[in-house]
């Protein structure tokens, strides 16, 4: 495996573990985490505005809490996903290209992915996005989604099978 | 084979907006969360109230420690190694293909009850057929099921718990609870509900007969903890111990030396905990004392009925981070004598992706999610 591909992610996680004492260092966390968090939320909600709202509100709450947060990166991911859970789901009325970006400005691969994600339940979608895009482990996802590791395992297993069927592959089932 | 991580990398083409300014603006428009309790405590009358509460807590903790934790005379009993019952093989004696994706099973009132997407299924335990399908539209895979005087399920999307009369298989009550109910446990007419919030879980006691929320409490962490109810209390596994929420609104903590608890159940008047290291704890619900411990495999499910403890073990995974069932390590069901801790049922393989177990009489039922099946396990 080429571990260099993981370096940006590892760097981001290490920054998240630093004890943030000032707003400036929280801004550092924002610069590292927010782009990936925002894209993960776009995949999860299918709505750029909802993703922006959740990210802005999560960081606003983090600023208000200040030093009370030990791990700001983990905290904003958890808070943003929980905020997004309470937002209305616009997926049923919006075509995929409009959901994630300007028509014609996004690739077919991304449109296919969003279309496949629409067919998952919200919990399956959150789990698979956090795992395959956010890079989180099953235990970390359980913490973010206020669930158990075994429940997240169930969601990931079902989601992965469904995604592979939707995206044209069905070869990973147990014998 | 498709590499899903590569597929998800397509999202990197999206350009996020800069929201830091918006976040700072929102933060400036509301007071600092950290400063609120500080201001309150600095007021004299709140200082007095805080001091009073602290005295009450210390007194309650002292009384609890004196009554529950101090008398170490009743030492944990390790059962003798002499078997008192013959070990007989267990077997799958019935299989039912479920019409909907399932996520919970309980047994009682002469039936087996399965929580499934949008439905509660009543299954005849003898013929293994669905005898009723009760629509509960908001029932999703974050839901839970319990049985007391009625069958209860959580409906998180409507912030409700729903009661089903086991005799008529009709919905008889819907009770609104705060936040998002994700777990439920029942003890006769006492119904306990754990709700997920943006922070720690909250626990509510509902009078099952009237539907009135009669007490409330707060967990120290996630709402998805091993949870059961019985003996007039609810029991939650938290941080290497148990927390008991009494029907009178009291709470108490029971320290366990066995470490984290992976499953919890109530049966035959006792609390049963499965320690994640592989040990069954038999706990007296009135004193919180561990009456007996006996070795067992570690597992994900625990049930107790008619003097038998049933354990469902996890399926092995080919990956440490993602659940990819390992064909070499299917899940097992094993059974122990509740009094002696001796195995009474030789392990039976129940395949891949089982997640829930319930017991009634001398049988157990295992619900699997891929494919959706209900299995009956009995002594062969």
pLDDT band per the 50, 70, 90 thresholds, residue A86 = low
pLDDT band per the 50, 70, 90 thresholds, residue B46 = low
CATH number of the domain to which A137 belongs: 1.10.10.10
pLDDT confidence of residue B71: 44
Residues B214 and B279 in one domain: yes
Kindly determine whether residue A100 and residue B17, on different chains, have CB atoms separated by under 8 Å: no
pLDDT band per the 50, 70, 90 thresholds, residue A103 = low
Neighbours of B277 (CB within 10 A): 12
Sign of torsion, CA B25 B30 B33 B34?
positive
Taking the C-alpha atoms of residue B61 and residue B228, their distance in angstroms, rounded to an integer, is 23
Q: Whole domain around residue A137: which residue ranges?
A: 119-175
Residues A19 and A67 in one domain: yes
Q: Nearest chain B Cα to A110, which residue?
A: B10
pLDDT confidence of residue B47: 62
Residues A72 and A4 in one domain: yes
Q: Is residue B106 part of a domain?
A: yes
B141 Cα to chain A: minimum distance (Å): 8
**Domain final residue, candidates A43, A66, A87:** A87
Which residues of chain B are within 8 Å of residue A70 when distances are taken between CB atoms? none
Out of A52, A147, A174, closest to residue B17 by CB: A52
Q: Is residue A97 part of a domain?
A: no
Return the higher-pLDDT residue of B115 and A20. B115
B70 Cα to chain A: minimum distance (Å): 34
B237 Cα to chain A: minimum distance (Å): 13
Digit-coded pLDDT (tens) for B251-274: 888 888 777 888 999 999 999 999
Kindly determine whether residue A172 and residue B1, on different chains, have CB atoms separated by under 8 Å: yes
Q: Is residue A106 part of a domain?
A: no
pLDDT confidence of residue A104: 59
Q: Whole domain around residue B289: which residue ranges?
A: 82-379
A144 Cα to chain B: minimum distance (Å): 9
pLDDT band per the 50, 70, 90 thresholds, residue A15 = very low
Residues B197 and B155 in one domain: yes
Most confident of A18-22, A39-43, B318-322, B368-372: A39-43
Backbone phi, psi, residue A93, to 5°: -110, -10
pLDDT confidence of residue B9: 87
Return the higher-pLDDT residue of B198 and A107. A107
Which residues of chain B are within 8 Å of residue A115 when distances are taken between CB atoms? none
Kindly determine whether residue A147 and residue B142, on different chains, have CB atoms separated by under 8 Å: yes
Digit-coded pLDDT (tens) for B306-331: 999 999 988 777 766 566 677 788 88
Q: Nearest chain A Cα to B103, which residue?
A: A151
pLDDT at B250 over 80: yes
Out of A27, A42, A56, closest to residue B22 by CB: A56
Taking the C-alpha atoms of residue B380 and residue B377, their distance in angstroms, rounded to an integer, is 9
Q: Is residue B15 part of a domain?
A: no
Residues B32 and B167 in one domain: no
Backbone phi, psi, residue A14, to 5°: -65, -40
A171 Cα to chain B: minimum distance (Å): 7
Give me the count of residues in chain B.
Answer: 380
Return the higher-pLDDT residue of B155 and B325. B155
The closest of B290, B25, B323, B50 to A57, measured between CA atoms, is: B25
pLDDT confidence of residue B62: 67
A15 Cα to chain B: minimum distance (Å): 17
pLDDT averaged over every residue in chain B: 83
Kindly determine whether residue B33 and residue A65, on different chains, have CB atoms separated by under 8 Å: yes
Q: Nearest chain B Cα to A117, which residue?
A: B8
B18 Cα to chain A: minimum distance (Å): 9
Which residues of chain A are within 8 Å of residue B22 when distances are taken between CB atoms? 52, 56, 60
pLDDT band per the 50, 70, 90 thresholds, residue B132 = very high
pLDDT at B355 over 50: yes
Q: Nearest chain B Cα to A108, which residue?
A: B10
Q: Is residue A63 part of a domain?
A: yes
Count of the separate structural domains present in chain B: 2
Q: Is residue B129 part of a domain?
A: yes
Digit-coded pLDDT (tens) for B226-241: 899 998 899 999 877 8
Structure tokens at A72: 């700001």
Kindly determine whether residue B19 and residue A163, on different chains, have CB atoms separated by under 8 Å: no
pLDDT band per the 50, 70, 90 thresholds, residue A11 = very low
Mutate to test the interface with B, among A150, A152, A175 (most CBs of B within 10 A): A150
* DSSP line for B274-336: EETTTEEEEE-TTT--EEEEEE----SEEEEETTEEEEEPPPPBSSSSS--B-TTS-EEEEEE
Residues B181 and B210 in one domain: yes
pLDDT confidence of residue B243: 92
Structure tokens at A8: 């940006």
Q: Among B128-137, B229-238, B246-255, name the one with the lowest average pLDDT.
A: B246-255
Taking the C-alpha atoms of residue B79 and residue B154, their distance in angstroms, rounded to an integer, is 39
Strands B301-305 and B290-295: unpaired
Kindly determine whether residue B355 and residue A66, on different chains, have CB atoms separated by under 8 Å: no
pLDDT band per the 50, 70, 90 thresholds, residue A26 = confident
- The residue-averaged pLDDT of A80-87 equals 80
Out of B1, B198, B327, closest to residue A171 by CB: B1
**Domain final residue, candidates A67, A87, A107:** A87
Mutate to test the interface with A, among B9, B23, B116 (most CBs of A within 10 A): B23
pLDDT confidence of residue B260: 84
Count of the separate structural domains present in chain A: 2
Return the higher-pLDDT residue of B340 and B357. B357
pLDDT band per the 50, 70, 90 thresholds, residue B45 = low
- The residue-averaged pLDDT of A85-91 equals 59
pLDDT at A171 over 60: no
Residues B134 and B274 in one domain: yes
| DSSP helix/strand/coil, B353 | coil
* Cβ atoms of residues B158 and B121 within 8 Å: no
* DSSP line for B21-81: HHHHHHHHTS--TTHHHHHHHHSHHHHHHHHHHHHHHHHHHHHHIIIIIS-TTSPPBPPPS
Kindly determine whether residue A56 and residue B142, on different chains, have CB atoms separated by under 8 Å: no
Backbone phi, psi, residue B236, to 5°: -125, 135
Kindly determine whether residue A167 and residue B31, on different chains, have CB atoms separated by under 8 Å: no
pLDDT confidence of residue B323: 62
Q: Among B21-35, B40-54, B61-75, B87-101, name the one with the lowest average pLDDT.
A: B61-75
Kindly determine whether residue B353 and residue A109, on different chains, have CB atoms separated by under 8 Å: no
Kindly determine whether residue A160 and residue B322, on different chains, have CB atoms separated by under 8 Å: yes
Residue B232 CA: distances (Å) to CA of A108, B194, B219: 58, 16, 18
Name the DSSP letter for residue A10: H
pLDDT confidence of residue B63: 64
CATH number of the domain to which B350 belongs: 2.130.10.10
Q: Is the pTM of this model over 0.90?
A: no
């Amino acid at each position: 495996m080429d571990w260099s591909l993981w370096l940006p992610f590892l760097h981001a996680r290490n920054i998240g573990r630093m004890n943030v004492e000032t707003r400036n260092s929280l801004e550092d966390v924002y610069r590292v985490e927010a782009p990936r968090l925002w894209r993960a939320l776009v995949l999860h909600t299918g709505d750029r505005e909802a993703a922006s709202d959740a990210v802005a509100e999560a960081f606003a709450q983090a600023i208000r809490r200040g030093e009370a947060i030990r791990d700001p990166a983990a905290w904003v991911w958890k808070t943003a996903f929980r905020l997004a859970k309470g937002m209305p789901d616009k997926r049923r009325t919006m075509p995929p290209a409009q959901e994630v970006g300007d028509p014609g400005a996004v690739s077919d691969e991304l449109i296919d992915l969003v279309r496949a994600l629409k067919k998952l339940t919200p919990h399956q979608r959150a789990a698979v996005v956090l795992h395959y895009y956010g890079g989180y482990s099953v235990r970390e996802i359980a913490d973010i989604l206020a669930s158990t590791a075994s429940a997240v395992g169930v969601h990931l297993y079902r989601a992965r099978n469904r995604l592979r069927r939707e995206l044209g592959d069905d070869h990973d089932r147990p014998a | 084979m498709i590499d899903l991580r590569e597929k998800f990398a397509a999202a990197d083409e999206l350009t996020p907006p800069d929201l830091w300014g918006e976040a700072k603006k929102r933060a400036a428009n509301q007071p600092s969360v950290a400063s609120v309790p500080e201001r309150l405590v600095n007021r004299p009358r709140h200082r007095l109230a805080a001091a009073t509460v602290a005295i009450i807590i210390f007194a309650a903790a002292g009384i609890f420690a004196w009554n529950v934790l101090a008398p170490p005379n009743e030492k944990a009993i390790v059962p003798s190694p002499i078997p008192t019952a013959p070990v007989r093989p267990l077997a799958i004696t019935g299989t039912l293909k479920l019409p909907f994706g399932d996520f919970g099973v309980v047994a009682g009132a002469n039936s087996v009850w399965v929580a499934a997407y949008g439905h509660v299924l009543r299954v005849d335990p003898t013929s293994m057929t669905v005898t009723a399908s009760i629509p509960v539209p908001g029932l999703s895979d974050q839901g839970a099921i319990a049985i007391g005087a009625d069958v209860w399920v959580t409906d998180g999307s409507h912030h409700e718990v729903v009661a089903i009369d086991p005799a008529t298989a009709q919905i008889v009550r819907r009770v609104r609870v705060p936040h998002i109910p994700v777990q439920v446990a029942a003890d006769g007419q006492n119904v306990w509900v754990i709700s997920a919030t943006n922070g720690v879980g909250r626990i509510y006691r509902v009078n099952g007969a009237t539907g009135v929320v009669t007490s409330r409490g707060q967990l120290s962490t996630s709402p998805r903890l091993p949870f059961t109810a019985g003996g007039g209390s609810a029991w939650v596994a938290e941080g290497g111990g148990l927390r008991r929420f009494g029907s009178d609104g009291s709470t108490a903590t029971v320290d366990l030396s066995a470490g984290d608890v992976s499953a919890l159940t109530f049966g035959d008047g006792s609390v049963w905990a499965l320690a994640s290291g592989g040990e069954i704890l038999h706990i007296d619900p009135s004193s919180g004392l561990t009456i007996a411990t006996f070795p067992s495999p570690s597992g994900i499910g625990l049930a107790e009925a008619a003097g038998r403890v049933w354990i469902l073990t996890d399926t092995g995974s080919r990956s440490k981070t993602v659940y990819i069932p390992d064909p070499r390590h299917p899940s097992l069901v094993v059974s122990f004598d509740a009094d002696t801790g001796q195995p009474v049922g030789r392990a039976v393989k129940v395949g891949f992706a089982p997640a829930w177990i319930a017991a009634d009489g001398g049988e157990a039922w295992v619900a699997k999610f891929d494919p959706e099946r209900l299995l009956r396990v009995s002594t062969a």
